[in-house]
Structure 1
Amino acid sequence: MIIGVPKEIKNNENRVALTPAGVTEFKKHGHTVYVQTSAGEGSGFADAEYEKAGATILPSIEAVYEIAEMIIKVKEPIESEYTLIKENQLLFTYFHFASSEPLTHAMISRKAICLAYETVEKADRSLPLLVPMSEVAGRMAIHEGAKYLEKPLKGRGILLGGVPGVRPANVLVLGGGVVGMQAARMAAGLGANVTIMDVSLPRLRYLNEIMPANVNTVYSNEYNIREHIKHASLIVGAVLIPGAKAPHLITRDMLKDMNPGTVLVDVAVDQGGCIETCKPTTHENPTYIIDDVVHYCVANMPGAVPYTSTLALTNATLPYALQLANKGWAKACRENAELKLGLNVIGDKVVYKGVADAWGLPLTDVETLLA
C-alpha cells in the first residue's frame, strides 16, 4: 500500500503521525511511504531521518494526498485539505466528528473512508488510541491550570500546593477516566486538595483505592457539582462519551458561584466540551474570560509537547496502521472488531451511531458495507 504522511497544519500542531521508526516497519512489510517535507521537524525528526528509514520526501501536502492510498494524520483535516481528499482514500486520524458538522459533511461529500483513532475500542471498552493522548492531556491540564492561576495571567493568584501555614488549592476533576485519573494524580503530587467525580461507583471505588490520601472521590450529580465549584480554584473537565458530544456538566449559570479567577480547563473540548461556556482555543490564544472565570480550552493540548506526544501516539497507532496496510481497510476491519469500531464514514455513508445522532444523519449498518 502507498502510505502518505502530510505535515499537520492546524494551529500550533507540532506532532507527526509517523516516526522514522514507523517508516522502517512499513518498509519491512513491503509498503511505500511518502512524507511531506518538514512534517516531522516539530517533533524533532528531520527529513534525512525519514529518508534513511526508506521514505520518499515530497515537497507539498498536495503531492502527498495525490499519491497516497492511506493518509495517516494526527488531527482531523481542516478546510484547506478537504478538496485534496480523494474518493475511497483511507484517512486514519483523530476526527471527533460529533463536534464538527462541517467536517462530517465534507468527508461524506468527498466519499472518503474515515477511520477515527478515538473510536477504535477494545472489548473491555477501553480506547487504545485515545489513551496515550488522554494521559498527556490529563497531566498537562494541571500544568496549564496551575500556570493560569497566577495573578498576572488573570487567575486567583493561588499556588496549587500552598506552603507551610497556607492551605493548598482545591482542585475539582469531573470524570474518573484516563484524563481525570492523570489530572488528579498530577494535582495530588503538587500537594493540592483534589476531588474527583464520576457517575460510576465501581470506578470511584477503584480510584479511592489507588489515589493518594489528598484525593477524595465524590459521586457526580448536579447538586454535588454546584457545591464543589464554590470552593475549587481549578476545575478540570475530563468527561468523554466515545464518538459523541460530551454532556454539559457545568452550565453558564454556574459561573456566578465560582470565585473570581477560578480556572476551567476543558479537556473534552474536542468532543464539544463538558463546560457550556467552552469554545475551542489554540496555543497562540489559549484562554478567555467569562464572568471573571478563566477558560483554557485548547483543542490539541498534547501538541505543545510534540516529542513526547508523537512517540506515545505512534506507539499505539502503528500496529493498527500496519494491519490496515497489510490487509486493506475492509479485510482488516472484518477481522479486527477494534478497528471496525473505528469506522465512522464509509464513502457517503455514516456508520457510527454517535456521529449520526449528533447531526441527525441516517445511520448505515457497517456490516452491510463490509460484507
Structure 2
Amino acid sequence: MPNLDAAVVGFPRESVPGDRRTLLTPAVARCLRDAGFTVLAEPDVAAGVFCPDADLAAEGVRFADPERVWAAPLVLRYKCTNPADLGRLRPRQALGALFHAEGNPAMLSALMDCKISAYSYEFLAEHGRFPLAAPGGQIAGIQAVLRGAQALQEFSGRGVLLAEVAGAARPRVVVIGSGNVGSAAARTAAALGVRVTVLTRCEGSADEYRPQAPTGVRVAVNTARIRRELISQADLVIGAILVSTFDTPPMISEADLRDMKPGSVIVDATCGYGDGYLPTAGGVQEPGEPPRVVHGVLHIKLDALPALVPVTATQAYTTNALPYLVRLARVVLCGDADPAVATARIAHDGELVHPVCREHAAYFGVAA
C-alpha cells in the first residue's frame, strides 16, 4: 500500500445503491486545494450528478484506484451506511460522512472495531445549530409536502388538492417539529395557501420559532390533547422531529388514526427509531413504494428524500459544507483545535465518544 502524503484527502465513490449524490465537486476540490491539501478521488466519483472527471481534474484532483483512495489519512464521503466499508480503513485514519450510526448496531460495532476517528456531519453543532443538517432538512421538508400532495390525489387518498382554490375549503396541514425539516415543510405548505399548524417540543421552542414562522401559520406546543385535536382535522400530517430516540413517545397511535379523516396522509420525513414517534407508519419504505394504508390513512415513511434529487442535494449540501470540510481537514491533518468540528466526532480509537451514539449502543447492548 502506498505511503500517501499526510495532507491527502480521499474521496471514494458512494456505495449506497441508487444514491447518485457526491461530496466532491469542483468547488470543494478548489477550496481544499487552496487550503493546501491534495485531493485524491476514484474515477467517476461525481458522474451521478453529471460532473465529469475533467472538471475535477481542472481543480487539481488526482485520480487513483479505490485502495489508494481509501488509504488516505482523511477520507470524506457523502454518506456511510454500510458497516463493511469501514473494513477498508486502518487505525488512526479518519472518516467524515453522514453516518446516522445511532440507529445501526452493526455500524456502532464496526466503528469500535476499526479504531478510526469518525466524524458524522449531522452532529456538528455551532452557535446552537446544526449547520450541516440544514440543506438535507430543507430539501426533505419541501419534498414531504410534495409527496403528501401527490398521495392526497391517489385513488385511496382524500381527493384534496393541497392548495387554496376559490370556492373550496382550504386544506389543513399539521407539521410535528420546527427544526430544519419542519420549518421547510411549513414554508412550502403555507406558500400553497393551506392552513398550517406547527407543533413544537416546548414553549421555548415555540417562542424561538414564532418570529420566523410564515404569515398565518399557527404555532402550538405539542401536547397530546392539542395533537389529537389537530390531526383529527388534518388532510396532511408531517412528522419532522429533529432528534428522535428509542424512548421518544408515540406521536400518533392506531386509536388516533380512527379519528383522522379517511384518505388523509401522514408523511414521516425524519423516520424516528423504535416503537415510538410514528409507529403506525411501520418500517421505512423504499422510494417508489405506494403509501401504506392503515385504518384508511395513507402513510409515507422515507428516510432519504434528498437522495431523490441528487443534483439539487449535492449543490445545496456542498455549498453549505465547504468551510466545515476544510476545517475538518485542518483538525485531522494539521492538528488544529476546532470546538465545532469536535462536536461531530462519534468514535475514536475503538471507543464511541458521542453521547447519542453511546446512548443507543447501550440500548442495543453494544459495548461502548
Q: TM-score, normalised by structure 1?
A: 0.88
Please say if residues 34 and 64 of structure 1, whose CA atoms lie closer than 8 Å, have aligned partners that are also in contact.
yes
Please say if residues 350 and 362 of structure 1, whose CA atoms lie closer than 8 Å, have aligned partners that are also in contact.
no
Q: Distance in 1 between matches of 2:57 and 2:209?
A: 46
Q: Distance in 1 between matches of 2:331 and 2:41?
A: 22
Q: Distance in 2 between matches of 1:337 and 1:233?
A: 44
For 2:260, the equivalent position in structure 1 comes to 258
For 1:149, the equivalent position in structure 2 comes to 152
Cα separation, partners in 2 of 1:136 and 1:72, compared to 1, 3 Å: same
Question: Could you tell me how far 1:277 is from its partner in structure 2?
Answer: 3.3
1:234 is aligned, of 236, 244, 253, to 236
Moved more, 16-25 or 317-326: 317-326
Please say if residues 163 and 194 of structure 2, whose CA atoms lie closer than 8 Å, have aligned partners that are also in contact.
yes
1:78 is aligned, of 72, 75, 82, to 82
Please say if residues 74 and 332 of structure 2, whose CA atoms lie closer than 8 Å, have aligned partners that are also in contact.
no
Please say if residues 12 and 304 of structure 1, whose CA atoms lie closer than 8 Å, have aligned partners that are also in contact.
no
Instruction: Confirm or deny that 1:9 pairs with 2:12.
Output: no
Q: Distance in 2 between matches of 1:291 and 1:240?
A: 27
> 4+ runs of 1 displaced by more than 4 Å?
242-247, 270-273, 361-364
For 2:186, the equivalent position in structure 1 comes to 184
Question: Could you tell me how far 1:80 is from its partner in structure 2?
Answer: 4.4
For 1:167, the equivalent position in structure 2 comes to 169
Instruction: Confirm or deny that 1:34 pairs with 2:47.
Output: no
Q: Distance in 2 between matches of 1:330 and 1:105?
A: 28
Q: 1:127-158, CA deviations, whole angstroms, 9 ceiling, x for partnerless residues? A: 01111211111112111111121124x32221
For 1:203, the equivalent position in structure 2 comes to 205
For 2:138, the equivalent position in structure 1 comes to 135
Cα separation, partners in 2 of 1:133 and 1:290, compared to 1, 3 Å: same
Q: 1:3-39, CA deviations, whole angstroms, 9 ceiling, x for partnerless residues? A: 1212223243221112111112222233221222222
Q: 1:57-108, CA deviations, whole angstroms, 9 ceiling, x for partnerless residues? A: 335x45532x322121112231442422332221111111222111111211
Cα separation, partners in 2 of 1:112 and 1:261, compared to 1, 3 Å: farther
2:101 is aligned, of 89, 93, 97, to 97
Q: Distance in 1 between matches of 2:286 and 2:315?
A: 22
Please say if residues 3 and 34 of structure 1, whose CA atoms lie closer than 8 Å, have aligned partners that are also in contact.
yes
2:63 is aligned, of 46, 49, 57, to 57
Please say if residues 94 and 332 of structure 2, whose CA atoms lie closer than 8 Å, have aligned partners that are also in contact.
no
Q: Distance in 1 between matches of 2:89 and 2:284?
A: 25
Q: Distance in 2 between matches of 1:247 and 1:113?
A: 33
Letter in 1 for 2:153: E
Instruction: Confirm or deny that 1:126 pairs with 2:129.
Output: yes
Letter in 1 for 2:25: T
Q: What is the aligned-residue identity percentage?
A: 27
Cα separation, partners in 2 of 1:127 and 1:359, compared to 1, 3 Å: same
Question: Could you tell me how far 1:246 is from its partner in structure 2?
Answer: 5.4
Please say if residues 164 and 170 of structure 2, whose CA atoms lie closer than 8 Å, have aligned partners that are also in contact.
yes
Q: 1:277-308, CA deviations, whole angstroms, 9 ceiling, x for partnerless residues? A: 34222324374333332222222211122222
Instruction: Confirm or deny that 1:297 pairs with 2:315.
Output: no
Please say if residues 121 and 133 of structure 2, whose CA atoms lie closer than 8 Å, have aligned partners that are also in contact.
yes
Please say if residues 96 and 271 of structure 1, whose CA atoms lie closer than 8 Å, have aligned partners that are also in contact.
no
- Within-5 A mapping of 1:309-324: 309-324=313-328
Q: 1:243-268, CA deviations, whole angstroms, 9 ceiling, x for partnerless residues? A: 98755322344333322322222122
* SS of residue paired to 1:10: coil
Question: Could you tell me how far 1:324 is from its partner in structure 2?
Answer: 2.7
* SS of residue paired to 2:88: coil
Q: Distance in 2 between matches of 1:355 and 1:250?
A: 26
Q: Distance in 1 between matches of 2:183 and 2:334?
A: 35
Moved more, 232-241 or 194-203: 194-203
Instruction: Confirm or deny that 1:18 pairs with 2:21.
Output: no
For 2:119, the equivalent position in structure 1 comes to 115
Please say if residues 17 and 310 of structure 1, whose CA atoms lie closer than 8 Å, have aligned partners that are also in contact.
yes
Moved more, 278-287 or 181-190: 278-287
- Coordinate RMSD, CA, aligned: 2.5
Number of residue pairs matched by the alignment: 358
Please say if residues 139 and 186 of structure 1, whose CA atoms lie closer than 8 Å, have aligned partners that are also in contact.
yes
Structure 1 gap ranges (5+): 365-371
Please say if residues 158 and 235 of structure 2, whose CA atoms lie closer than 8 Å, have aligned partners that are also in contact.
yes
Q: 1:218-246, CA deviations, whole angstroms, 9 ceiling, x for partnerless residues? A: 21111211111111111111112389875
